[in-house]
């Protein structure tokens, strides 16, 4: 490892450690730094000839301009006003006190007001402090103070805007995650329940005439239920903050099992894979599986089909999935009124940058779902 990369890693680790510090610890360190900076004139300057050493009373305004910063997050305007009053007290108490080059506490208080206060309070606080500063200082000092205050205010507003933007991004990400979880739960439950209902309806018919087939039917019901429970447990485990299941999400590699389960309990279903399979991102892998799962669920629930086909085509720039049945045709299911299944398929495709199309089969009968998921962006990213 080079020296520059080691330095970068150490700096990144230090930034993460600093950002993880509790706010009270950060504010306490800030107060100590401000107090040290505003105490420096008392340590490195001497009173004029014939004057006694600096007194505690002369130093108290420095404490008043530093200690209130401990409560800057709880009451930013009050903190700013107290700091400004301490500055005025310092200027009017004794004109021969050591000069403060910069009132760091006032800059921190102004930054906090700009970051955390609503507009009216920000403006009133700034006007009050600015008026007091103008009364007790000269034009040059006032101009310098205005520049410093304006800089602190601008930095505070920039921090507030950045935090609001980050919060909005987090909210959008949480909303997308909720939508994804809702789609996954719909797919899992709809698929499992559909297979279980089909088998449960067929069970009484064959229980007397064909006991062996009836036993397989009940085994299929149990298997569908166990698989649904496992997937739900895995999904809900991700939502827990403590221990989550490490089982992988269902992906393209499990399509043969999915097709076999449907074929064993519903319409005769076949799987065809054309082209050269290759690694894809995890989100696209899961989306492709869910598209097939939901398409087969719709066939079991609505189509009354005798057979269905699942075709997975690995093209140069896309993964194309086509699910076709010989059922009742496009009247059922319906993209507009057939429930959330086809909507979920379209949303999954769009989330991966792809497209979904629904309609009658190639010969005008049955129903076909065709989803195209692009692979070009993935290949470029790798």
Task: Name the pairing type of β-strands 318-325 and 268-275.
Answer: unpaired
Do 121 and 236 fall within a single domain?
no
Query: Does the pLDDT at position 330 exceed 60?
Result: no
Q: Is residue 157 part of a domain?
A: no
Same domain, 119 and 194: no
The model carries a pTM of 0.54
Which of 19-28, 32-41, 203-212, 335-344 holds the top average pLDDT? Answer: 32-41
Burial (CB count within 10 angstroms: exposed 0-12, middle 13-18, buried 19+), residue 57: exposed
Looking at 137, 159, 183, which one is the last position of a domain? 137
Going 233 to 234 to 237 to 243, the CA torsion angle's sign is positive
pLDDT confidence of residue 351:
85
Q: How far apart are CA 146 and CA 140, in angstroms?
A: 10
**Mean pLDDT, to the nearest integer, of 312-332?**
84
Token readout for 180 is 């994804």
Domain boundary among 87, 117, 137: 137
pLDDT-derived band of residue 135, with 50, 70 and 90 as boundaries?
A: low
CATH of the domain at 236: 3.30.565.10
pLDDT tens-digit readout, 219-276: 777 777 777 777 776 666 655 544 444 456 788 999 998 898 888 877 899 999 999 9
Final residue belonging to a domain, choices 92, 111, 137: 137
User: Which is higher by pLDDT, 280 or 344?
Assistant: 280
When mean pLDDT is compared across 143-152, 237-246, 248-257, 362-371, the lowest value belongs to 237-246
DSSP letter, residue 56 = H
- What is the reported pLDDT for 331? 45
242, two tokens: 């403590």
What's the rounded Cα separation, in Å, for the pair 234 and 232? Answer: 5
Percent of the chain with pLDDT over 70: 82
Are the beta carbons of 290 and 261 closer than 8 angstroms?
no
| Domain with 64 in it | 18-137
4 found inside a domain? no
Rounded CA-CA distance 32/37 in Å is 9
Same domain? For 34 and 95 the reply is yes
Tell me: pLDDT of 337 over 50: no
- Kindly state whether residues 133 and 215 are assigned to the same domain: no
- Residue 286 belongs to some domain of the structure: yes
Residues 119 and 232 in one domain: no
Q: Looking at the structure, tell me whether residues 178 and 133 fall in a common domain.
A: no
């Amino acid at each position: 490892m080079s020296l520059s990369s080691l330095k970068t890693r150490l700096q990144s680790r230090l930034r993460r450690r600093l950002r993880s510090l509790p706010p009270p610890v950060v504010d306490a360190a800030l107060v100590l730094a401000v107090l040290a900076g505003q105490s420096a004139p008392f340590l490195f300057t001497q009173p004029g000839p014939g004057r006694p050493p600096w007194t505690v009373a002369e130093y108290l305004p420095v404490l008043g301009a530093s200690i209130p910063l401990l409560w800057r997050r709880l009451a930013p305007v009050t903190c700013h006003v107290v700091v400004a009053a301490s500055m005025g007290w310092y200027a009017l108490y004794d004109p021969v006190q050591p000069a403060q080059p910069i009132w760091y506490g006032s800059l921190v208080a102004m930054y906090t007001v700009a970051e955390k206060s609503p507009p009216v309070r920000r403006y009133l606080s700034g006007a009050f402090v600015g008026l007091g500063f103008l009364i007790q200082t000269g034009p040059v000092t006032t101009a310098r103070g205005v520049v410093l205050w304006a800089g602190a205010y601008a930095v505070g507003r920039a921090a507030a805007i950045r935090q609001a933007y980050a919060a909005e991004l987090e909210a959008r990400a949480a909303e997308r995650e909720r939508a994804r979880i809702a789609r996954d739960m719909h797919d899992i439950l709809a698929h499992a329940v559909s297979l279980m209902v089909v088998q449960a309806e067929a069970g009484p018919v064959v229980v007397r005439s064909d006991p062996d087939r009836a036993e397989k039917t009940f085994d299929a019901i149990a298997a569908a239920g166990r698989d649904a429970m496992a997937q739900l447990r895995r999904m809900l485990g991700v939502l827990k903050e403590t221990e989550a299941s490490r089982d992988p999400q269902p992906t393209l590699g499990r399509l043969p099992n999915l097709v076999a389960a449907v074929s064993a309990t519903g319409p005769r279903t076949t799987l065809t894979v054309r082209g050269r399979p290759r690694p894809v991102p995890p989100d696209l892998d899961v989306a492709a599986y869910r598209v097939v799962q939901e398409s087969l669920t719709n066939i079991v629930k609505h189509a009354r089909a005798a057979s269905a086909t699942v075709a997975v085509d690995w093209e140069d720039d896309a993964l194309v999935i086509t699910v076709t049945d010989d059922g009742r045709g496009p009247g059922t299911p319906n993209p507009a009124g057939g429930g959330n299944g086809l909507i979920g398929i379209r949303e999954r495709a769009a989330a991966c940058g792809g497209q979904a199309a629904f309609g009658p089969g190639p010969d005008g009968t049955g129903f076909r779902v065709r989803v195209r998921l692009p692979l070009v962006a993935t290949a470029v990213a790798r």
